Amino acid sequence: MLTLFTTAKPFKGHNGIIQRNALKSWTLLHPDVEVILFGDEDGAAEVARELGLRHEPHVERFEGKLPYVNFLFGRAQQIARHDYLCYANCDMVLTEDFRGAVEGAVRWRRRFLLVSQRWDSKITEPIDFGRAGWGEEARRAARTRGVKQDPRNVDVFVFPKGLYHDIPPLVVGISYWDWWAVWNALAQNVPVVDCTPYMTAIHQNHDYGHYPGGKEGTHLGPLAMQNYRLAGGPEHFRWTEDATHRLTRGGRISRRFVRIRYRTRTRDLWLEARRIFTYKVRLPVWFFLLNVTRPLRNLLGVRSGAAPRSGGKP
């Protein structure tokens, strides 16, 4: 049916709960689904055995930390049992509507990229997968009490084996590699299908304590800027709103004839200008002020605050 692959944080605390929720939901999509968990983080081997996942402990990483996208996608395409793969972040709960979206896309065309906007949902406890209707309950909770994120948040990618090759040395876990992945499919003239109207991709909220600088660091830090440069900048950034097709609520894939390229180009130019201003002006001034006021703040017992926000990926 489908091979899903991902990499995880250590299976501890709240991250452990939501990652188990995500992985378990994937195993229930279809009796023949394959799930590959990359990485040797604490608890990964035990969770893989418990849930019947394929565990690949070896991962090539940037300075021994965040995994490289080219390794994950390349290795997954080499070893996957099925012809279609899905990369999803390990905090995404997927239910039967996701399965329906994949099956509809496969019937429609051999080559495609399937993406979706996500719904942020507060989940703090293990999901009771033994309860009938758990999927419908999770979707309803996300849509009624959660937040639908904008098209920049791409956490699920379904594609045929062999679609991705010659990937730059981008790293997962921070911004820009996902935008590049959407652009790359479009650059190959592969149709991109936005299935947001049809399915509810449930993102379980979490903190960013695992990354230096927290959430801000994932799109403003040095490694994020490395991704930004390697991806090629805004010319190589595309989101779900750039999809060529849409999977409607009724399950039909229709072409998006109205795609306002001028608006997209304006958006890209504005994004680039905002980046330049942030890195050339705002951040240097901010860190200068932090340095010169550090003695006084230490004397008063005041901790430095977060860096000023920019318009990066939420």
- Average pLDDT of 221-246? 90
Higher pLDDT, 11 or 150: 11
CATH number of the domain where residue 64 is located: 3.90.550.10
22: in domain: yes
306: in domain: no
pLDDT band at 313 (very low <50, low <70, confident <90, very high): very low
- Quick one: what percent of the chain has pLDDT higher than 70? 80
pLDDT band at 298 (very low <50, low <70, confident <90, very high): low
Long-range residue pairs from 262-269, CB within 8 A, at least 24 positions apart, any chain: 268/234, 268/235, 268/237, 269/234
42: in domain: yes
266: in domain: no
pLDDT band at 153 (very low <50, low <70, confident <90, very high): confident
Q: Are 153 and 207 in contact (CB under 8 A)?
A: no
Does residue 235 have a pLDDT over 60?
A: yes
10-49 b/e with 16+ CB inside 10 Å = b? ebeeebbbbbbbbbbbbbebeeebbbbbbbebebbbebbe
270: in domain: no
- What predicted TM-score, i.e. pTM, was given to this entire model? 0.82
Contacts of 93 (CB under 8 A, 6+ apart): 21, 22, 25, 121, 123, 127, 138, 202, 204
Higher pLDDT, 304 or 176: 176
**Cα–Cα distances in Å, from 122 out to 28, 48, 236?**
21, 25, 32
293: in domain: no
pLDDT band at 306 (very low <50, low <70, confident <90, very high): very low
> E-strand spans in 24-144?
34-38, 54-56, 61-62, 66-67, 84-88, 92-93, 113-115, 118-121
Query: Smallest Cα–Cα separation from 158: which of 313, 5, 312, 311?
Result: 5
pLDDT reported for residue 308: 41
- Average pLDDT of 83-98? 97
What would the two tokens of residue 98 be?
């996701």
Q: What is the pLDDT of residues 202-211, one digit of tens each?
A: 999 987 666 6
H-run or E-run covering 245: strand 245-247
pLDDT reported for residue 222: 83
pLDDT band at 263 (very low <50, low <70, confident <90, very high): very low
What crossing angle do the helices spanning 13-27 and 44-51 adopt, rounded to 10°?
A: 30
289: in domain: no
Does residue 14 have a pLDDT over 90?
A: yes
160: in domain: yes
pLDDT band at 267 (very low <50, low <70, confident <90, very high): low
- Domains: count for the chain: 1
Higher pLDDT, 160 or 263: 160
Weakest mean pLDDT among 57-61, 107-111, 230-234? 230-234
- Average pLDDT of 217-229? 81
Across the chain, mean pLDDT equals: 87
pLDDT reported for residue 200: 97
Query: Smallest Cα–Cα separation from 38: which of 3, 84, 63, 83?
Result: 3
Q: Angle at CA 14, nearest 5°, toward 9 and 20?
A: 65
- Tell me the residue range of the domain where 138 lies: 3-255
What would the two tokens of residue 104 be?
């509809």
Weakest mean pLDDT among 76-85, 162-171, 221-230? 221-230
Q: Are 206 and 15 in contact (CB under 8 A)?
A: yes
